[in-house]
Structure 1
Amino acid sequence: MKRYPLLVQLISYVFVIVIALITTLGLLYYQTSSRNIRQLIERDTRQSIRQSSQFIDAYIKPLKETTSVLAKNSEIQDFASQIHQENDKQVLQLMKMVLATNSDLQAAVLVTKDGRTVSTNPQLIMKTSSDMMAEPWYKAAIDRQAMPILTPARQLSLSSKKEWVVSVTQEVVDAAGHNLGVLRLDIAYPTIKASLDQLQLGRQGFAFIVNDKHEFVYHPKKSVYSSSKEMAAMKPYLAIQNGYTKDKTSFVYQKLIPNSQWTLVGVASLDQLHRVQRQIFWSFLGTGLLACLICGFATVLVLRRWIRPIQQLQQVILAIQKGDRQLRAQETGSPELTDLAQQFNALLDQIDSLMVAVADKEKAIGQYRLQALASQINPHFLYNTLDSIIWMAEFNDSKRVVEVTKSLAKYFRLALNQGNEYIRLADELDHVSQYLFIQKQRYGDKLSYEVQGLDVYADFVIPKLILQPLVENAIYHGIKEVDRKGMIKVTVSDTAQHLVLTVWDNGKGIEDSSLTNSQSLLTRGGVGLKNVDQRLKLHYGEGYHMTIHSQSDQFTEIQLSLPKMHELMADDTQENE
């Protein structure tokens, strides 16, 4: 699982919170605005349809009154009753005068019961018969009992002009109420159309009029009158009295026009709502993006300042892991981070104190081990050397007694080294030379040795008593175990980084071929050799290493690789002196 930095995580959390907040507010505002706009559309639609209904009623009322007045006119009744059949010109003149008073009146037609007609349109072609009571349109007019009737929209197919009109038809009766004929006025659409076109029903909204049989009286799209498909498309609107269509794209409101069989249907499109919804969406989207950018920028600035102490603390920890233990965390930032840095620094100080205490203890342990080594070596070695001197004295070999005694004295003087733990390389080589000289007095021709140093490293300072245990190991575990003449070589060499001290012997070697590392030889070599290895590791750390080469019954070679610290150690020695 991929781990992301704290800054990235916090910024992500802030972005999620900001987006969630803006989304929530946007949805609430969206819902509230949509509801308010819907209510506004509903209110405006109802109000507009009511006003238009009243206007149409006021518009139709005088037309119906005009029709009634004409139907009761004496000249028209006389002509229809066949009393004065020759006055058709006076009737025509009367109807033309009525048409002249209203530009919406397209034509006036009088049809008598016996099929005679008088029309203001000379091109009128009307189906008549001697018994007009059998004609449907004629019967529909007289069924209203001398009351005006509004007919649905129709095209003036009875004339050469193909215009859509509605008609006001009224029965003409005599004083006794007997049918004499039917009078019809054809009304054009301009006034009704102008009134309904002014309705604020949205870009896709419209209004239309139907009668009580759901026949279209008016529709802004005239093709509806003749297209059954388009008529069928209007039926869903007729099924809704006051509400929304199934797809929620339109609001429908119906209002019965007073004093008529007509119903005004208003279909308000919700494009205003959709437009506002789009505006809200894009506004909140833009606001959200801007808010995210501002919040993101501000968050980065704030969080960087807040996280910087944590990052600095992390860098200090990494540096300390690499060995730079002098660094300390900056005690800055929030109170919590300041307390954390203070506690961390206090912990580092405590660790340093413990490490100093441990180092002092290990140094003391090293000194105790060195003293223990000297106490282990000196009595045993001194006993054997004194035994050899006594033996020489018994044989009156005074010269050798003097030489061995001087060598022994010099050996102990170099070993003590005025109480210093460190010694010059030349003195360490001299010390091991005195040891080998004394041992040769005991072993005679069985032991030969060579000690070879490098003048350039004569003053190189090293811990004392590191070669004598290796030489002792070579004698007791190597030379002493074979019957041939033994040879021990102590040499000094160098590499680019190390000074190499080598102790070689042609003794027994290591019998087990698997024992080829320093640990195996340390196990065989005893306490003295182990102490040397531990002391050098404690002093030099990882810069020191021991290398062992051996072949069974052939040789053993031990190499001590010491880091070149000549100048530093020499200065330390001078200060101690």
Structure 2
Amino acid sequence: MKKPSLLIQLVLSFFVVVIGFLGLIGVTYYQTTSQAITEVTVQATQNSIKQGGEFVHSYLQKLQQTSSSLVVNPTLRAYIESPTTANKQNFVQMMQTLLEADRDLVAATLVTRSGEVISTDTELDMKTSSDMMKESWYQKAIEDEAMMPVLTPARLTQFANHKEEWIISVTQEVSDANGQNLGVLRLDIGYETLETYLDKLELGSTGFTFIINDQHQFVYHPENKVYSSQVEMDRLKPYIAVKNGFSDNHEKYIYQYKIPDSNWTVIGVASLNGLHTLQSKILSSFVGLGIVSLIVCCLSIWFILKRWISPLKHLQQVILKVGQGDSNIRAQEVGAVELVDLSRQFNTMLDQINVLMTEIKQNEQSIRQYELQALASQINPHFLYNTLDTIVWMAEFNDSQRVVDLTKALAKFFRLALNNGNELISLKDEIDHVRQYLFIQEQRYGEKLQYDIEELAKYDRFTLPKLILQPIVENAIYHGIKPVDRPGKIRLTVSEADQHIKVTIFDNGKGFSQDQSAVKSMLSSGVGLQNVDQRLSLFFGEDYQMTIQSEEDRYTKINLFFPKG
């Protein structure tokens, strides 16, 4: 699998780091914000419940003050001491006036020790009976040693207008100067004021407030069915059990406020749906903001890194081109300080490499020149020995003219071989050099050797190393024609082949098979052919090529391909 680029790796690394950083910040921010919001919500709930409790406390104080002032009212005392019709009417009139002045009072009832009942509720007034003194509220009032008003739990009452209404009552004993019981006064209070105030407390969408006494009896609840349904009452018990804390998996917060100078406790059940909604919005907002920030950061870092890495890409391309052989190209010294310094050092290195390459090339040329000279020195003694041997042979037969002709040919041969000390020679002179050599060999072998030379005038001035054709011709004579018993012929031709100049040396001699071992043997047989191949490879390089074609006992053809350029 292909490894991603440096830019992709950096962007991905930055992406992971930003994701981790945003995640850490998000979790911390969310937890901190949620905790702060929770604390604010809890504090607001507590303040609301406290305000509600203080309102109820003030409300009760007013009722208790009303009750305490009534039990010592002269009109009430006058009726108890003298229950005449006039005193009764005066008392009832006073109570009616009181009910009209205070909308929270639903009814007022006086039960005397003798069992007489006077009430603003006419239906209750007709039920004069000693049974009224057996009511729990009556007994509770006369048992209160502090002679203070007594609060009773909520109860359902049907009044003269046949309307049923849930009320609470404030009862207080009426006694004489000696503390002897004269009766009990009860004020029935409706829920209107409590409902109006308590229901306005901000406790969430499903929050509510209720009041209980010390016996966990319900004094007030916004839903009246709670008073008559045991199931509903049981449902509220978990809230009563929690003093100050969370319930329903943190869906509700409960706070209890004990009302001073009473046995009532206000319990607020705050709904945290709004809190959770706010937390969800905060989380969603942060996630959305985080995604936008992440995209912006990634795009920004993409462009920044791309611009920063651009000089590195350029440097990479320069390195590739240098590797492909372009030694003149140089890196641009742009970008960050480090990259500028890197490019400058790289360019300096290329300059130094060029200097070293120039020196190496010069050294190689010198070495190649020495090698060419060394190889040429191997040929001259070899050929000279053979030629002198031929001259000696002719002299022994007193053939002076042939000796003269052969000596002249040998002189021209060596004049061309020496070439005024130059290692390079024109193709025309090199072929003339071969012509002198073949003339000398023809004098030696007589009718056994014939030769033919075909030149191409347009390439007469083509330059090549000297002494490269004569060794091949020599090899053809000694290893091709000499071993056979028939007349031999050597043909040297110059022709064109695509981008090369083709020089062919043909002989009709011994030949050999075309297997690789025979070719290797052919190249290694004597110094001549191998010497020529090495010299031409050193001079022309890869553009030069030698091919050998042969058929056993028929011919051998060696083709030399020289690049025209």
TM interval, short-chain normalised: 0.7 to 0.9
Is the contact made by 1:95 and 1:120 (CA closer than 8 Å) also made in structure 2?
Answer: yes
Distance of aligned partners of 1:486 and 1:194 in 2 relative to their CA distance in 1, 3 Å threshold? farther
Partner in structure 2 of residue 8 of structure 1: 8
Q: Any residues of structure 2 matched to 1:1-400 within 5 Å, and which?
A: 2-71=2-71, 84=84, 91-110=91-110, 117-122=117-122, 130-132=130-132, 134-136=134-136, 138-144=138-144, 147-156=148-157, 160-171=162-173, 182-245=184-247, 247-270=249-272, 273-274=275-276, 277-278=279-280, 280-282=282-284, 284-285=286-287, 287-289=289-291, 291-400=293-402
Distance of aligned partners of 1:418 and 1:125 in 2 relative to their CA distance in 1, 3 Å threshold? farther
Deviation, 1:317, is 0.9
Distance of aligned partners of 1:106 and 1:524 in 2 relative to their CA distance in 1, 3 Å threshold? same
Deviation, 1:169, is 3.3
Equivalent-residue separation in structure 2 for 1:128 and 1:496 (angstroms): 145
Structure 2 spans left out of the alignment, 5+ residues: none
Deviation, 1:322, is 0.9
Deviation, 1:305, is 4.2
Q: Single out whichever of 132-141 and 245-254 deviates more from structure 2.
A: 132-141
Root-mean-square deviation (CA, aligned residues, Å) is: 3.8
Q: Give the match's secondary structure for 1:131.
A: helix
How high is the sequence identity, in percent, across the aligned residues?
A: 52
Partner in structure 2 of residue 442 of structure 1: 444
Equivalent-residue separation in structure 2 for 1:359 and 1:496 (angstroms): 29
Amino acid at match of 1:199: L
Report Cα offsets for 1:34-59 as digits up to 9, x if no partner: 44434433433333322322221111
Is the contact made by 2:476 and 2:507 (CA closer than 8 Å) also made in structure 1?
Answer: yes
Distance of aligned partners of 1:2 and 1:229 in 2 relative to their CA distance in 1, 3 Å threshold? farther
Amino acid at match of 2:51: Q
Q: Give the match's secondary structure for 2:329.
A: coil
Report Cα offsets for 1:212-238 as digits up to 9, x if no partner: 122332233444444544444433332
Is the contact made by 2:118 and 2:125 (CA closer than 8 Å) also made in structure 1?
Answer: no
Equivalent-residue separation in structure 2 for 1:148 and 1:220 (angstroms): 25
Q: Single out whichever of 22-31 and 43-52 deviates more from structure 2.
A: 22-31
Distance of aligned partners of 1:341 and 1:112 in 2 relative to their CA distance in 1, 3 Å threshold? same
Is the contact made by 1:497 and 1:564 (CA closer than 8 Å) also made in structure 2?
Answer: yes
Q: Give the match's secondary structure for 1:515.
A: helix
Q: Single out whichever of 386-395 and 109-118 deviates more from structure 2.
A: 109-118
Q: Give the match's secondary structure for 1:392.
A: helix
Is the contact made by 2:514 and 2:549 (CA closer than 8 Å) also made in structure 1?
Answer: no
Deviation, 1:191, is 1.9
Q: Any residues of structure 2 matched to 1:366-515 within 5 Å, and which?
A: 366-510=368-512, 513-515=515-517
Number of matched residues?
A: 563
Is the contact made by 1:252 and 1:266 (CA closer than 8 Å) also made in structure 2?
Answer: yes
Amino acid at match of 1:50: K
Is the contact made by 2:117 and 2:129 (CA closer than 8 Å) also made in structure 1?
Answer: no
Distance of aligned partners of 1:561 and 1:171 in 2 relative to their CA distance in 1, 3 Å threshold? farther
Deviation, 1:319, is 0.2
Equivalent-residue separation in structure 2 for 1:530 and 1:339 (angstroms): 52
Equivalent-residue separation in structure 2 for 1:369 and 1:288 (angstroms): 75
Distance of aligned partners of 1:78 and 1:554 in 2 relative to their CA distance in 1, 3 Å threshold? farther
Equivalent-residue separation in structure 2 for 1:503 and 1:225 (angstroms): 131
Equivalent-residue separation in structure 1 for 2:49 and 2:413 (angstroms): 130
Distance of aligned partners of 1:287 and 1:132 in 2 relative to their CA distance in 1, 3 Å threshold? closer
Distance of aligned partners of 1:189 and 1:365 in 2 relative to their CA distance in 1, 3 Å threshold? same
Q: Single out whichever of 59-68 and 523-532 deviates more from structure 2.
A: 523-532
Report Cα offsets for 1:178-236 as digits up to 9, x if no partner: 66665433322232223223434344543322221223322334444445444444333
Q: Single out whichever of 212-221 and 550-559 deviates more from structure 2.
A: 550-559
Deviation, 1:269, is 4.1
Deviation, 1:245, is 3.4
Equivalent-residue separation in structure 2 for 1:229 and 1:203 (angstroms): 23
Structure 1 spans left out of the alignment, 5+ residues: 566-577
Q: Any residues of structure 2 matched to 1:544-555 within 5 Å, and which?
A: 544-555=544-555
Deviation, 1:521, is 5.2
TM-score between both structures, scaled by the size of structure 2: 0.84
Distance of aligned partners of 1:218 and 1:493 in 2 relative to their CA distance in 1, 3 Å threshold? farther
Distance of aligned partners of 1:533 and 1:160 in 2 relative to their CA distance in 1, 3 Å threshold? farther
Distance of aligned partners of 1:516 and 1:389 in 2 relative to their CA distance in 1, 3 Å threshold? closer
Q: Single out whichever of 441-450 and 118-127 deviates more from structure 2.
A: 118-127
Report Cα offsets for 1:161-184 as digits up to 9, x if no partner: 344333323455566666666543
Equivalent-residue separation in structure 2 for 1:496 and 1:488 (angstroms): 25
Is the contact made by 1:313 and 1:329 (CA closer than 8 Å) also made in structure 2?
Answer: yes
Amino acid at match of 1:542: E
Distance of aligned partners of 1:341 and 1:113 in 2 relative to their CA distance in 1, 3 Å threshold? same
Partner in structure 1 of residue 534 of structure 2: 534
Equivalent-residue separation in structure 2 for 1:561 and 1:228 (angstroms): 118
Equivalent-residue separation in structure 2 for 1:35 and 1:215 (angstroms): 35
Report Cα offsets for 1:411-444 as digits up to 9, x if no partner: 3333333333333333333333333333333333
Distance of aligned partners of 1:525 and 1:48 in 2 relative to their CA distance in 1, 3 Å threshold? same
Is the contact made by 2:375 and 2:535 (CA closer than 8 Å) also made in structure 1?
Answer: no
Amino acid at match of 2:438: L
Q: Give the match's secondary structure for 2:102.
A: coil
Equivalent-residue separation in structure 1 for 2:517 and 2:466 (angstroms): 28
Equivalent-residue separation in structure 1 for 2:268 and 2:531 (angstroms): 110
Report Cα offsets for 1:499-552 as digits up to 9, x if no partner: 3333344444445834376xx257524444334333333333333333344445
Equivalent-residue separation in structure 2 for 1:105 and 1:344 (angstroms): 101
Is the contact made by 1:211 and 1:261 (CA closer than 8 Å) also made in structure 2?
Answer: yes
